[in-house]
Amino acid sequence: MNKIIVTGSCGYIGSHTVVDLIQQGYEVLSVDNHINSSPDVLNGIEKITNIKPKHYPIDLCDILSLEKIFLENPDVQGIIHFAALKSVNESVEKPQLYYYNNMVGLLNLLELTKKYKLNHFIFSSSCSVYGQANELPVTENTPLQDAECPYAYTKQAGERILKDICIANKLLQCIILRYFNPAGAHSSNWIGEDSINLASNLVPVITETAIGKRGSLTVFGNDYNTIDGSCVRDYIHVMDIARAHTMALQYIETNRNNTNCEVFNLGAGKGLTVLQVIKTFEELTDQKLNYKIGPRREGDVEAIFADIRLVNEKLKWKPEADISEILASAWAWEMKRSGKLIG
């Protein structure tokens, strides 16, 4: 049983990936400082898998505390690194916080990876690295444009750091996963998107509006050059993303990678506008959403969606859930955590 460190393990994508890893036979070491998550997520993971991972509630920026994990677990085989601050709006307001947290945490991990000779590293990146791309859909070779916000720049910089280190250290095997818009929840309803900070992603904002936690939903801009004027995004079920992380790990464990630093897009491979997603939710749930049109939001790009041929070819991965399944699982999770769904 390979032992894997998962940072940001109590966060949204991290927790779902921990479930998939456990179900695929891995032993997970959970690392999360709970700046934007709850340790209660570990109970949800245990309910799904019957295993509660060993947990370290530490900050990656504290390298001395971080090193204790490596000292206590000399048999650890690799790292999946999710832990990062991720709000576009907050990064615009607090850029120094984002540069410090996201970059120092990554550098500390890589320092210890080298010191303790760990060779498998999966990095959680984002489609935000593309900026406002000049071509759609974007491939892994699409030129990166200027980052639209500090959060996106930390992902661009993180990728560059990993690529440079992989050139210098041929033993390090790294996969960078650029995912698009994760949404939905585990089918058990024991875990889902439930950050401590106010959600800003479209799908949880939709479900929170529908359940009554928010008075209304704002569509940021209806004057973009899209089919209905609202932004276009590529929505992917969180469990499809989780599965891809496990498959990426297995890909480098079995030496199927061609180079020691490879990049893959994770998306549905097609774009939907904000208004199309709202309409789909209303039709699916028979819930009329109270939404209004607002001005464009700083840091948003007009349209982005993925070309996923490479990840399908190399990892044999493809998304299973469509937008209706994504929204249905998100709505079930919202009702469960709000006490309106029993079981």
What are the tokens at 247? 């498959």
> Residue 265 — φ and ψ, nearest 5°?
-80, 140
Catalytic residue among 56, 130, 151, 224: 151
Q: Is 151 a catalytic residue?
A: yes
Check whether the bond before 53 is cis (ω within 30° of 0). Answer: no
Please identify which residue in the block is written with the tokens 């000399």: 74
109-126 pLDDT, tens per residue?
Answer: 999 999 999 999 999 999
Highest average pLDDT, of 87-96, 125-134, 326-335, comes from: 326-335
Cross-strand pairs, 4: 28, 78
List the beta strands (DSSP E) in 127-234.
173-179, 181-183, 217-220, 232-233
> Which pLDDT score, from 0 to 100, does residue 342 have?
57
**Cα-based angle 87, 88, 93 (whole degrees, multiple of 5):** 95
Contact between 197 and 36 under an 8 Å Cβ cutoff? The reply is yes
The predicted model gives 49-54 an average pLDDT of 97
145-201 pLDDT, tens per residue?
Answer: 998 899 999 999 999 999 999 999 999 999 999 999 999 999 999 999 987 777 888
> Which pLDDT score, from 0 to 100, does residue 343 have?
53
In the chain the domains, ranked by start, together with CATH numbers, are: 3-184+236-266 (3.40.50.720), 202-232+269-337 (3.90.25.10)
Pairing of strands 3-7, 76-81: parallel
125-140 pLDDT, tens per residue?
Answer: 999 999 888 889 999 9
pTM of full prediction above 0.85: yes
The predicted model gives 67-76 an average pLDDT of 97
- pLDDT higher than 70, residue 306: yes
Buried b (16+ CB within 10 A) or exposed e, 245-255: bbbbbebbeee
Report the percentage of the chain scoring pLDDT > 70.
Answer: 99
Average confidence score pLDDT of the chain: 95
